[in-house]
Amino acid sequence: MNKKLFGAVAVSAALGLVAISRLASADPLPPDATYRPLPTVPLDVVRKNDEAMKPAVLKRQQALLNERYDLSNRAMSGVKMAGGRKTVQDGVRVKLKSGTTWDSLAAMSPGEIKEKNLLPAGFLPLPHVKQLAGGQVFPNEQIEEIRIAESRNLQRFDVDFDLPSHLTPEFPAPIFLTTRPELGDVSGGKLLTIRNYYAMMVGIITPVQMEGLRLLLTPFPQEEFNQTEDRKVPEQSLGVACLDCHANFHTNAAFHLTPDVRPQAARFRLDSTSLRGMFNQQIHGSKRSLRSIEDFTEFEQRTAYFNGDHVSATRKGVHLPDRPNQVAMMAQMQNIIDFPPAPKLDAFNRLDPSKASPEELAGEKVFMGKGRCAECHIPALHFLDNNMHDLKLERFYRVGQTFNDQVAIPDGPIKTFTLRGIKDSPPYLHDGRLITLADTVEYFNLVLGLKLSEQEKQSLVAYMLTL
């Protein structure tokens, strides 16, 4: 017997025991644990059921939101988002569990908070308005604008958007271009659509960028908006466009479920991310860490559109953009979207002491030092580090609890998001679980064990408003 073959046989024999175990453990979950099941009920029955259940679904979500947050409209005086159309919301909105204060929580160990079940529920993962159905949900402003401009229906029959509009970004958001910084906002206060983009952008962008823009505004079939019986709109739909969520290349707070986790109950909510500053971002997707905007643009047809289920996509009509031409043009358009102006920042995104207030400067000092913010949000890198980090929030609560059909599992590593223009993009964190900048300060104060004073917390908020 040849020596190599003998070796292989000997190894197989030694592994025999293991091999038996492996064979015996072939007892998997059914395919719907990973794949989207095919519909077996006619659309009219699904619709009737969904519409009948809708009031209870919305009521349940409102109950959860009200239990976790103060959703009232409390605007900061004099602080508006970059387009000047919406005021920034003030104060901490996450509700404390009774008998606790932010300081008393900060003084406790994670284990004690977990043991006594004292983590504010607003710090937990935020469920989708209807977790088990999931899918894209658009805010009413977007639905109305698209209905008027394109006669296209983005209103689902099973759910409505769940946050009040004073807690979402201004709409339509202003658009700033790296290629034409002298122009300022080029949106003219309008929402870019497939019907108006050409007239709005001719003379401002290049032919290649124009074609990229056209593709980003073209509706393509999507899981809930398509031509098949498995959809959530009454009529057959042309689909959705990239900029239906990333409205005017920013975000309108439309949400979805992550394509990257199964089963359904464990998927986390995704708050649409802004595309501002894409030119400096090296990793894309909260979980996937895709290495270029080209990769991301190409693969969104598999993920944002079809939940990371290419099998379902094939049936509903997937659009696979041609990589060397279409993807490249879509990417180049996204890569010229700039942040809003930040007049108090210098070339390295540090505050100019001649322009900033003492409180803002104090906030920057906390940001760079005691607050440890700049360890990931590095000013010179546009507040990115192009890494993913795990904050390990599960140290503070018992994992596996179910809230509105969502199972709270650890978040795991999530990519660092930029803080440039951050006052323009509430709600915060990847799933939008935090309502205001003050909420983010309390969140990180607890999670990182910072023990910031009240004054330090306020200065951090003041600082973030300058970004």
30 binds another protein (CB under 8 A): yes
CA–CA separation, 189 vs 183, rounded Å?
14
40 binds another protein (CB under 8 A): yes
6, 15, 49, 455: which one contacts another protein (CB under 8 A)? 49
Phi, psi of 444 (to 5 degrees): -70, -30
Part in contact with another protein (CB under 8 A); list of ranges 34-42, 78-86, 183-191, 426-434: 34-42
81, 92, 94, 133: which one contacts another protein (CB under 8 A)? 133
Part in contact with another protein (CB under 8 A); list of ranges 81-89, 323-331, 335-343, 393-401: 393-401
- Least Å distance between CB 394 and another protein? 8
DSSP string, 315-374: HH------IIIIIHHHHHHHTTBPPPP-TTB-TTS-B-TTTS-HHHHHHHHHHHTTT-GG
What amino acid is encoded at 16 in this protein?
G
Part in contact with another protein (CB under 8 A); list of ranges 175-183, 262-270, 334-342, 440-448: 262-270
405 binds another protein (CB under 8 A): yes
- Cα dihedral 35, 267, 230, 130, rounded to 10, equals 150
The smaller minimum CB distance to another protein, of residues 158 and 360, is found at 158
- Least Å distance between CB 31 and another protein? 11
- Least Å distance between CB 94 and another protein? 18
Phi, psi of 361 (to 5 degrees): -65, -40
What amino acid is encoded at 370 in this protein?
K
Token pair 């197989």 is found at 12
Long-range contacts of 387-395 (CB under 8 A, 24+ apart): 387/283, 387/415, 387/416, 388/283, 388/287, 388/289, 388/413, 388/414, 388/415, 388/416, 389/413, 389/414, 389/416, 390/414, 391/447, 391/448, 392/447, 393/123, 393/447, 395/110, 395/111, 395/114
Site string for another protein, 203-232 (x = CB under 8 A): ---------------------------x--
11, 399, 449, 451: which one contacts another protein (CB under 8 A)? 399
106, 108, 265, 368: which one contacts another protein (CB under 8 A)? 265
45 binds another protein (CB under 8 A): yes
The smaller minimum CB distance to another protein, of residues 19 and 202, is found at 19
Q: How many CA atoms lie within 13 A of 424 on its CB side?
A: 31
16, 66, 73, 115: which one contacts another protein (CB under 8 A)? 115
Part in contact with another protein (CB under 8 A); list of ranges 4-12, 22-30, 279-287, 331-339: 22-30
The smaller minimum CB distance to another protein, of residues 125 and 340, is found at 125
CB-based contacts of 128, cutoff 8 Å, min separation 6: 134, 137, 255, 256, 257, 267, 269, 406
CB-based contacts of 461, cutoff 8 Å, min separation 6: 363, 437, 438, 441
Q: Interface residues with another protein (CB under 8 A)? A: 17, 20-21, 24-25, 27, 29-30, 32-33, 36-37, 39-41, 45-46, 48-53, 56-57, 59-60, 63, 109-111, 114-117, 130, 132-133, 158, 230, 263-266, 394-395, 398-403, 405, 407, 409
